[in-house]
């Protein structure tokens, strides 16, 4: 009885303790008043002393307060103290968020502070600013300006950049996202001391980079659409388009001028190919160099794209060639289908209307070949020479014999041999059944092969031969059968054979 009372008393004491902890936990309020760092900007690998001012309302036990410091990069000398030291990473720069979590009696409060890490450690810091303009004093946006020590900024709509936290000493400015020359000699070095701010004034550029030819699309009548781009076209008065028949641009001539905001232009040339390049012409100053000389092709007609053309095999004796519209049907009067042979090409179709998108070809089992779809002009012209990528390959399936051919000697209902096989996968539009042949070998004679049966359904999977004698050896072969349209002779696959002895 006494032991039961002791257990009850102990249970009561424990329950009171848990109730008190829950009660006081609800009364506690944690506040992170501030997180302090002795440096807001540091170089890679430098240390920052951290501390936190924390207040807790309610009954507390200071030894039970838990501190947790955290950052995605860098290291702490102790993550669990109210004060700590964070060592900036050696491999990263930028702004890093340092977080602190304070926990007491299931109550948690979080705070954070930002430390900037730069490439070069320094005792004193300054800043640099300036405005970047084109020669017409128009501000340039999206120009990236950086210092040799890694700090950078991008110009705004007024062409202004402002780089903070530049370490004391020489910085040497660099410019990217732009390909221009200085209008006047720039300062190659800016000295910044303490917290001073240096304004460089207006920095003015000449355009010097040509537009880029992104791609080109051929269209009929020896025309090509060029797609061109320059990220800062507002800097130019216009572009110049040059044409040459040599890959190095020698003997080039000016073909036309192009407005600086133009993104595409149609070029017409009588030859089959040429080389095209562009120059940028600034409002004032020197023209740019040529862009890369791009080889451009010109053609009378645009044939249907072979990548969108294909054969569909109806059976062993018929295939349909399909193609997609070119979008240029208004330039010509129809299509013709060509087959490649040893001497070139031969037409296998009459002139098909521009609305026709398919053509049937007679085939045979296992037939292969290369075909082309060519557009024909109103005057009868067509692309007599076809590139390799316009080839459409015909590959008619060959006839297959059934798999799993086997036989078994039996005596039920009389002596017999039951032949079995896996039915051919294709239906009767491809195959019209099977031909089974038989050869008999006796002790004194080996007879010739003879037709045992023709089965006129390709789904059949067995046949029983009842013309069987004991002690004879029988060979059986099976072939698939197909019939060409009309009165043509049947075609057979290669045979599959088995040998069975009747006991």
247 class by beta-carbon count within 10 Å (0-12 exposed, 13-18 middle, 19+ buried): exposed
Hey, what's the torsion of the CAs at 223, 224, 229, 230, to 10 degrees? Answer: -50
The answer to whether 462 touches 419, Cβ cutoff 8 Å, is yes
176 and 203, same domain (yes or no) = yes
374 phi and psi, to 5 degrees? -120, 140
Residue 8 in any domain: the answer is no
Residue 1 in any domain: the answer is no
- Single out the residue of 118, 100, 114, 95 nearest to residue 45, CA to CA: 118
140 and 98, same domain (yes or no) = no
Residue 401 in any domain: the answer is no
The answer to whether 228 touches 240, Cβ cutoff 8 Å, is no
Residue 159: CB atoms within 10 A of its CB come to: 20
Q: Residue 63: which residues within 8 A CB-CB, separation 6 or more?
A: none
Q: What is the DSSP letter of 194?
A: T
Distance CA 15, CA 190 (A): 72
Residue 4 in any domain: the answer is no
Residue at token pair 């005792």: 123
310 and 391, same domain (yes or no) = yes
333 and 354, same domain (yes or no) = yes
Distance CA 178, CA 288 (A): 13
Per-residue pLDDT of the chain (503 residues; tens, 9 = 90+): 555 555 555 555 445 444 444 544 566 788 999 999 998 888 888 899 999 999 888 656 666 889 999 999 999 999 999 999 999 998 888 889 999 999 988 889 999 999 988 776 666 777 888 888 876 778 888 777 877 777 788 888 888 888 887 776 555 676 654 445 444 444 445 555 555 677 777 777 655 678 999 999 988 888 999 999 987 777 778 999 999 999 999 999 999 999 989 999 999 998 889 999 999 887 766 788 899 999 999 988 899 999 999 999 999 999 999 999 999 988 889 999 999 999 899 999 999 999 999 999 999 999 999 999 999 988 888 988 898 999 999 999 999 999 999 999 999 889 999 999 999 877 778 998 999 999 999 989 999 999 999 999 889 999 999 999 988 999 999 999 998 887 678 999 999 999 999 87
Q: Read off the CATH number of the domain in which 172 is found.
A: 2.60.40.1120
- Single out the residue of 183, 185, 204, 206 nearest to residue 288, CA to CA: 206
CA 416, 418, 419, 424 torsion-angle sign: positive
104 and 133, same domain (yes or no) = no
First vs last C-alpha separation in the chain: 96
CA 367, 372, 378, 379 torsion-angle sign: negative
Token pair of 47 as six digits = 């240390």
Regarding pTM above 0.75, the answer is no
Distance CA 146, CA 130 (A): 12
The answer to whether 103 touches 68, Cβ cutoff 8 Å, is yes
> Which of the listed residues 118, 147, 178 is the one where a domain comes to its end?
118
Distance CA 502, CA 474 (A): 8
Token pair of 97 as six digits = 């968020």
133 and 100, same domain (yes or no) = no
112 and 139, same domain (yes or no) = no
Q: Read off the CATH number of the domain in which 278 is found.
A: 2.60.40.10
Coil, helix or strand at residue 352: strand
Token pair of 256 as six digits = 């036309």
82 and 152, same domain (yes or no) = no
Q: What is the DSSP letter of 68?
A: E
Number of domains in the chain: 5
386 and 311, same domain (yes or no) = yes
57 and 79, same domain (yes or no) = yes
Token pair of 62 as six digits = 């200071």
Residue 455 in any domain: the answer is yes
> Which of the listed residues 297, 328, 355 is the one where a domain comes to its end?
297
Residue 358 in any domain: the answer is yes
Domain span holding position 40: 27-118
Residue 429 in any domain: the answer is yes
354 and 277, same domain (yes or no) = no
Residue 138 in any domain: the answer is yes
> Which of the listed residues 100, 118, 136 is the one where a domain comes to its end?
118
């Amino acid at each position: 009885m006494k032991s039961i009372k002791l257990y009850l008393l102990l249970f009561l004491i424990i329950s009171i303790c848990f109730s008190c902890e829950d009660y006081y936990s609800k009364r506690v309020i944690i506040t992170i008043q501030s997180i302090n760092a002795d440096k807001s900007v540091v170089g890679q690998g430098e240390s920052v002393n951290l501390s936190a001012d924390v207040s807790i309302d309610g009954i507390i036990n200071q030894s039970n307060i838990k501190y947790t410091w955290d950052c995605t990069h860098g290291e702490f000398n102790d993550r669990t103290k109210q004060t700590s030291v964070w060592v900036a990473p050696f491999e990263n720069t930028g702004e890093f968020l340092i977080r602190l979590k304070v926990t007491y009696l299931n109550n948690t409060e979080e705070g954070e502070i930002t430390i900037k890490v730069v490439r070069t450690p320094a005792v004193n810091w300054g800043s640099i600013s300036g405005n970047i303009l084109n020669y017409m004093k128009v501000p340039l946006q999206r120009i990236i300006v950086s210092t040799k020590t890694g700090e950078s900024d991008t110009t705004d709509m007024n062409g202004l950049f402002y780089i903070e936290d530049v370490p004391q000493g020489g910085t040497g400015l660099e410019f990217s996202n732009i390909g221009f020359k200085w209008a006047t000699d720039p300062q190659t070095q800016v000295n910044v001391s303490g917290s001073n701010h240096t304004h460089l004034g207006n920095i003015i550029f000449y355009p010097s980079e040509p537009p880029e030819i992104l791609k080109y699309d051929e269209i009929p009548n020896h025309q090509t659409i060029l797609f061109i781009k320059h990220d800062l076209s507002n800097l130019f008065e216009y572009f110049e388009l040059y044409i040459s028949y040599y890959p190095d641009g020698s003997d080039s001539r000016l073909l036309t001028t192009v407005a600086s905001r133009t993104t595409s232009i149609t070029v017409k040339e009588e030859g089959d190919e040429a080389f095209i390049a562009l120059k940028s012409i600034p409002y004032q100053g020197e023209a740019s160099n040529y862009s890369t000389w791009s080889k451009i092709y010109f053609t009378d007609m645009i044939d249907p794209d072979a990548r969108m053309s294909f054969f569909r095999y109806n059976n062993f004796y018929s295939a349909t060639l399909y193609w997609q519209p070119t979008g240029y049907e208004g330039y010509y009067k129809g299509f013709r289908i060509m087959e490649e042979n040893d001497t070139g090409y031969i037409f296998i179709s009459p002139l098909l209307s521009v609305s026709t998108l398919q053509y049937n070809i007679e085939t045979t089992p296992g037939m292969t070949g290369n075909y082309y779809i060519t557009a024909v002009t109103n005057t009868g012209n067509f692309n007599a020479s076809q590139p390799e990528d316009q080839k459409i390959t015909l590959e008619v399936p060959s006839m297959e014999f059934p798999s799993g051919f086997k036989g078994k000697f039996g005596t039920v209902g009389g002596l017999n041999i039951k032949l079995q096989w896996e039915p051919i996968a294709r239906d009767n539009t491809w195959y019209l059944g099977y031909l089974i042949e038989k050869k008999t070998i006796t002790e004194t004679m080996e007879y010739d092969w003879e037709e045992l049966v023709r089965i006129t359904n390709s789904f059949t999977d067995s046949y029983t031969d009842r013309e069987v004698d004991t002690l004879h050896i029988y060979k059986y072969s099976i072939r698939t059968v197909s019939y060409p349209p009309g009165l043509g002779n049947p075609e057979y696959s290669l045979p599959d054979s088995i040998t069975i002895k009747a006991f």
